[in-house]
Amino acid sequence: MKIAIVNYNAGNVESVKNALNRLSIEPILTDDAEVLGSADKVVFPGVGEASTAMQFLRERNLDETIKNLTQPVLGICLGMQLLCEFSEENDTKCLGILPYKVRRFESKDLKIPQMGWNNIFDLKTNLFEGVEENSFVYFVHSFYVESGAETIAACDYGIKFSAAVNHKNFYAVQFHAEKSSAVGERILENFLRGLNT
Amino acid sequence: MLAKRIIPCLDVKDGRTVKGTKFVNLRDAGDAVELAEIYSEQGADELVFLDITATNEKRRTLAELVKKVAAKINIPFTVGGGINTVEDIDILLNSGADKVSINTSAVKNPNILSDAAKNFGSQCVVLAIDAKLVENVWKVFLNGGRIETELKAIECAKRGVNLGAGEILLTSMNADGTKNGFEIELTRKVSEAVNVPVIASGGAGTEEDFVEVFTKGKADAGLAASIFHFREIEIPRLKRYLKKRDIAVRI
């Protein structure tokens, strides 16, 4: 099984690689369109700011490469947000694969970013096989993806938002599965070994 | 519901953990990577590694330790101690740290906070404040508590957040090592003054101390070292206790 991680200026590429290593998988870190296209599965990580990341992807033509992927793809954190249509973070036009907008948390009572462990619920699809409702996963984010028909895990932080979405072959999680202890490992394992190519 | 975090702190020197009382009298408490794994399995929500001798001694071993920890554990961790430049931060984050905690240099050269936030994002920039009550004023101390400044803890927190700090690690030097409880009043004031999470540190001795700091102190996370290292409080039991007291925790 060939697993590729989209290698770009995202902060958590190494963390995702480490997490996959712990699952006895040696992923390929690459920005090569051909290598990404021929992988069995692709992980699209991300930590950082949306417009800078999008600019980086466009300059390397990675935006087109990612859009054209047909195998299961897992976006993580900023990776999830970049898969959406638009982000309020510096009014950034994103990849437009997931039919959602990325909003900024607005709250007088809550601290922004949401940083820490929150529970996810209304779990759907095989991505969450064996994961109990209300399991805790680790979030760090100031922006969120709205909830909608493609939401496969919900979370509540002042507002109900998408902790995970699935649209065609694209899966995405807002939380850091690579830092979410045993629950995160199970979700990664489900993505890597459980979903059919 | 966002859970309150329990964070064991590992003061490290040459890859091993040490913990002093009021920053002196260090005791060896074990291998850092091994301890990190144990805490992770016990249900710690996050780990903090502080290279306590970093400002005085060479610390090439730190990045190596960070790499080893990052390869092994599956929860987030912060690394701090002697961080002076954006390059220092870059090395630690690239070695696998999720966040860096900045103390002395954040006061001496506040631009490091904004530079770090711009380069790596606020989410990984933790401002560590060591505060001590001097003549009824909470003053900021630097260099592991050795240098007194005229800066007030709350002002330091506010300024740091404005510059780009995404979290505050607030240590009461008066409470540290006493096991008489966290500094509730100071923690609450800082937590109310800033819109980023506050980690309370110093003074934890009982399970009830964590209840107090999360409720009255409005802390988002509670950090402790020796009570965890010497197994005076075990994390699973602490979390069950907090849950019974209606505090949101990850179990």
Which of the residues B74, B91, B123, B199 would you substitute to probe the A interface, choosing the one with the greatest number of A C-beta atoms within 10 Å?
B74
Residues B45, B130, B209, B220: which is the catalytic one?
B130
Across the interface, which of A14, A113, A118 has its CB nearest the CB of B123? A113
- Residue A3 three-state SS: strand
pTM for the structure as a whole: 0.93
The answer, yes or no, to whether residue B76 has pLDDT greater than 80, is: yes
- Average pLDDT for B175-204: 96
Across the interface, which of B4, B74, B93 has its CB nearest the CB of A19? B74
- Report angle CA A124, A183, A12 to the nearest 5 degrees: 100
Two structure tokens written together for B142: 């630097």
Domains of chain B: 5-244 (3.20.20.70)
Q: pLDDT, tens digit, for every residue of A61-85? A: 999 999 999 999 999 999 999 999 9
pLDDT for position B219: 98
pLDDT for position A16: 93
Amino acid at B90: D
Question: Is B121's Cβ below 8 Å from some Cβ in A?
Answer: yes
- How far apart are the C-alpha atoms of B23 and B204, rounded to whole Å? 15
Residues A94, A150, A155, A176: which is the catalytic one?
A176
Nearest chain B Cα distance for residue A138, angstroms = 8
> φ and ψ at B6, to 5 degrees?
-110, 120
pLDDT for position B24: 42
Question: Is A162's Cβ below 8 Å from some Cβ in B?
Answer: no
pLDDT for position B26: 42
- Average pLDDT for A40-59: 91
pLDDT for position A171: 97
The answer, yes or no, to whether residue B178 has pLDDT greater than 50, is: yes
Confidence of residue B58 (pLDDT cuts 50, 70, 90): low
Contacts of A156 in chain B (CB under 8 A): 1
pLDDT for position B30: 64
pLDDT for position A10: 73
Across the interface, which of B45, B70, B121 has its CB nearest the CB of A15? B70
Contact A141, A114 (CB under 8 A): yes
Domain coordinates of chain A in residue numbers? 3-194
Residues A77, A84, A94, A155: which is the catalytic one?
A77
- Average pLDDT for A108-113: 88
What number is the ipTM of this complex? 0.91
Closest chain B residue to A109 measured between Cα atoms? Answer: B195
pLDDT for position B60: 67
State how far the alpha carbon of B202 is from the alpha carbons of B8, B33, B43, B144, in Å: 11, 23, 20, 13
The answer, yes or no, to whether residue A192 has pLDDT greater than 90, is: yes
Q: pLDDT, tens digit, for every residue of B84-108? A: 999 999 889 988 999 999 999 999 9
Q: pLDDT, tens digit, for every residue of B15-56? A: 777 754 433 444 455 678 888 888 999 999 999 998 876 554
Provide the CATH topology of domain A3-194: Rossmann fold (3.40.50)
Nearest chain B Cα distance for residue A156, angstroms = 7
Closest chain A residue to B7 measured between Cα atoms? Answer: A116
Structure-token match 């995160």, residue found: A184
